[in-house]
Structure 1
């Protein structure tokens, strides 16, 4: 017997619209709040996922231990399959249809969507990057990446008046006909607030480090590629796509300045970025 999915949400991130069809109105309400600012009905979504909810109650005060289990992303024939302790999802790129069985919490579906976008972007020359993104008042976007604790959320909080925060956690970078663009995402870090659902041309990528002053240093081509590659979100066990991810990092570093930004946590860092980048 096929499960009915009478309710749906259309989640649009980076110009890609994913329709989520689930039988649970409570889950749809939870998801609508989680992806607020990125929900809107479209006539023809790019992908459709039928979602079945596993029989577990979501308690925000209880750590989601299942989310700590290693993610497995692999091809099974023509289909992709995503596995973790709290979800089992698959989709067919040809039919643009998928299914997801997941635990009833926002983090499971959040992860499924991140992984879906990481695969789609890799195939198109873009990437999801562990990074914050800010658009200055002049319309230029800057991506700031680094290891946990490097200051991605801090530098977002220091953004000047008139700036737009696209994310403090997961940056969506897309290669288009006239260059690279950064898009807002609902994937939030310590700010716990979705980014603005806008796009802007990417003007620079900074590898973050905290120090006693503000300084921008050039990176060698190899260092720039390593900085990009190290911080790309990617889990797929697929040789062809892995090679493409590496090629995408090289292409981005060849077109967009990738530099090291050492900063002291005050707003003057954005004056330096705006004047020198």
Structure 2
């Protein structure tokens, strides 16, 4: 796939009770008897919606009045692998997914946050197997090259996104999708928005720099060593399962990533001139 190329065909609405959300080239086909729920997903993920296909992941969503406490998505999340399938439970949804057949089911109320969480978790599991990961990070494309801006909540991911000049295309201000592509890593746009409240563009490009954000009084970027870079990157990678094998895979992926991509600590102030350091 060419850098900055579209990851899906032009948006096409799913027929009847199904649609497909394609992120990072991976399609999650969602079926439901509730047509209003499908229509809501197509609005929410506009730009990442494609015609349902036979390939990819298949999720059957049962929409019910309530599952546990649907007003709370902060209850303890359980992601567990047993008997050949993943069980993904939280206070507001129940889900299962078989990584061999690629089929699963979700039981949730008629709001988008549960399926949003299920999709993030499934993507994180698939990416771990393929050498990639999701990370708390803003990401953007400039001149056909992608940059990540990582940090915990409050580090400045949304701020640096707002400061971006007009020639920068935003992929996300919250959760970056990092995909292994041969000998390089690509950043892919996602619909997972942070404080900006809008989805990223559905394109991808090779990652040429990771910037670990620190807010300060000056704009300065300092290259950091691989060991420190890997440790700080792992701190921000999203992984939800208590699974030793996949944690080991992620550790290997993080170490490989920092061996191929320059990592900097970026101290910055609320000044658009910080983008002069992003090259």
Query: Does the CA-based 8 Å contact 1:66-1:84 persist in structure 2?
Result: no
Match of 2:250 among 245, 248, 257: 245
Query: Does the CA-based 8 Å contact 1:10-1:45 persist in structure 2?
Result: no
- Measured against aligned partners, the alpha-carbon deviations of 1:191-231 in whole angstroms (never above 9, x if no partner) come to 11010000000011111000111001122222101111000
Q: In the alignment, does 2:19 pair up with 1:14?
A: no
Q: How does 1:1-277 map to 2 (within 5 A)?
A: 7-56=17-66, 65-136=71-142, 138-274=143-279
**SS where residue 137 of structure 2 aligns?**
strand
Structure 2 unaligned regions, length at least 5:
1-14
Q: Quote how far apart the aligned CAs of 1:42 are.
A: 4.3
- What is the match of residue 60 of structure 1? none
Distance in 2, matches of 1:207 and 1:65, equals 33
| TM-score normalised per structure 1 | 0.92
- Measured against aligned partners, the alpha-carbon deviations of 1:210-256 in whole angstroms (never above 9, x if no partner) come to 01110011222221011110001101111111111111111111111
Distance in 2, matches of 1:251 and 1:71, equals 29
Distance in 2, matches of 1:56 and 1:79, equals 24
Distance in 2, matches of 1:106 and 1:179, equals 33
Aligned residue-pair number: 264
What is the RMSD computed on CA atoms of the aligned residues? 1.6
- Measured against aligned partners, the alpha-carbon deviations of 1:59-80 in whole angstroms (never above 9, x if no partner) come to xxxx964200121111012111
Q: Quote how far apart the aligned CAs of 1:19 are.
A: 0.5
Q: Quote how far apart the aligned CAs of 1:81 are.
A: 1.1
Write out the 4+ residue segments of structure 1 that deviate beyond 3 Å after TM superposition. none
Structure 1 unaligned regions, length at least 5:
58-62
Query: Does the CA-based 8 Å contact 2:19-2:52 persist in structure 1?
Result: no
